Amino acid sequence: MKQRDIFIAFFRSSMLGYGGGPTTIPLVQKEVVERFKWMNNEEFGDVLAIANTLPGPIATKMAGYIGFRIGGVPGMMNAIISTILPTIFLMIILLSTLIQFKDLKWVQGMTKAVVPVVAVMLAVLTWEFVKSSIKGLKWFFTTLHILVALVLIEFFGIHPGFVIGALLVIAVVKPSKKSKKRIQQKGMSI
Amino acid sequence: MMIYLHVFWAFFLTNILGYGGGPATIPLIQKEVVDHYHWITTQEFNEALAMGNALPGPIATKMGGYIGFQVGGYIGSGLAIFATVAPSLILMLTLMGLLYKFRTSPQVKRMTLYVKPTIAVLLGVMTFQSFYESYFQIGIGHVLFLGIGSYLLMEKVKVHPGLIVFASLIYGAINL
């Protein structure tokens, strides 16, 4: 029963969410908090906040953790598989079919026409990252970060991994001015 | 055997570096599978990305599962998915107590924030490359028509992205 519910919750939220994992999060919340009542809103918010501090896809981290909490290791596997497997399967079938007819002229036309559409999707995604950077870092530092990263990665050919690694180190090492505020927040959450 | 190791490494690296969810890892994946390992071409990567965006669910695992399959069959696919999902999930499960304690600490919040502009740069460069390549393939007229058309439909009319990809495929089959 429980495993079936886990399957339903994560299969449904994944199949209804478009635009990658982060867009499925509100759907996951609907299933986990409102429908199956496995967690309350605050717990869900905490888990999401913690998932956001770690790298990699959000949806699978949420599914894995919540599945584990509800149904142990089988629950974890169940939640992850129902989140990712159906769409991976579709993806492989559809693209492999397309590749088989690659030499046909009209199929080539199809694959060319899709590039500007992907570019638009990427542009929208880029803008979302810029917007949320501005929200946290303000205009000046966002622009500065972007320019420095652009020069390092594109003109000096430094692997983005090094840039990201350096930024993470700076984030941890840099002393924070808001330690007072932090104590207040801590007091509130306890 | 080496190929499986490379598949694992490529997807492990991209997902351990990508902060901000699956979409943030896309440019990193492209860098590894196209620029570094030359497993697929930019064009093929874009096709996969278009299909990935047309289908529901998380994007990083779809890309990993598909590219892994192209490189190393079912084992490759499984390895790529494992490398995408497992490391951050294991971190989350094992460090939960610690992370919970520090979830409001400014250092932890800054980690995600500081990486964002760099991810924006990587995505922006990918956007530019896609437009640029498309301009040489099909010319400015088609690029503008498809680009502006899909933007308006997606962002203003809020048409389902799957339908937009489908419409562009038909447009390409007829006109290009």
- Among A42, A74, A100, the domain boundary falls at A100
- Among A100, A129, A157, the domain boundary falls at A100
Do both A176 and A92 map to the same domain?
A: no
Do both A95 and A76 map to the same domain?
A: yes
Which pLDDT score, from 0 to 100, does residue B30 have?
Answer: 93
- What's the pLDDT band for A42 if we cut at 50, 70, 90? confident
| Full domain range(s) for residue A175 | 102-190
Do both A108 and A96 map to the same domain?
A: no
Contact at 8 Å (CB) between B68 and B80? yes
Q: How many domains does the structure of chain A reveal? A: 2
Q: How does pLDDT run across A88-127, given as a tens digit for each residue?
A: 999 999 888 888 887 888 888 888 888 898 889 889 889 9
More confident position, B122 or A79: A79
- What's the pLDDT band for A10 if we cut at 50, 70, 90? very high
Among the listed residues B39, B42, B124, B38, the one whose alpha carbon sits nearest the alpha carbon of residue A160: B124
pTM for the whole thing? 0.81
Interface test with A, best of B16, B32, B95, B127 (most A CBs within 10 A): B127
Among the listed residues B84, B76, B91, the one whose alpha carbon sits nearest the alpha carbon of residue B58: B84
Which pLDDT score, from 0 to 100, does residue A177 have?
Answer: 63
| Residue-averaged pLDDT of chain A | 85
Kindly report the nearest CA distance between residue A38 and chain B, in angstroms.
18
| Full domain range(s) for residue B15 | 2-175
Q: How does pLDDT run across B15-32, given as a tens digit for each residue?
A: 988 887 888 899 999 999
Q: Which residue has the tokens 């890309």?
A: B63
Contact at 8 Å (CB) between A67 and A78? yes
- What's the pLDDT band for A188 if we cut at 50, 70, 90? very low
Q: How does pLDDT run across B52-98, given as a tens digit for each residue?
A: 888 888 899 999 999 999 999 999 999 999 999 999 999 999 888 88
* DSSP states along A60-96: HHHHHHHHHHHHHHHHHHHHHHHHHHHHHHHHHHHHH
Do both A74 and A124 map to the same domain?
A: no
Chain B, 139 to 168: residues with Cβ < 8 Å from chain A are 142-143, 146-147, 150-151, 154-155, 160-162, 164-165, 168
How far, in Å, CA of B164 to CA of B176, rounded?
A: 17
Cα distances from B76 to residues B2, B45, B68, in angstroms, run 11, 17, 4
Contact at 8 Å (CB) between A50 and B39? no
- Among A100, A117, A139, the domain boundary falls at A100
Do both A128 and A172 map to the same domain?
A: yes
Q: How many domains does the structure of chain B reveal? A: 1
Do both A56 and A95 map to the same domain?
A: yes
Do both A74 and A130 map to the same domain?
A: no
Do both A46 and A116 map to the same domain?
A: no
Give the DSSP H or E segment for B71.
Answer: helix B59-101
Do both A15 and A90 map to the same domain?
A: yes
Q: How does pLDDT run across A157-167, given as a tens digit for each residue?
A: 888 888 888 98
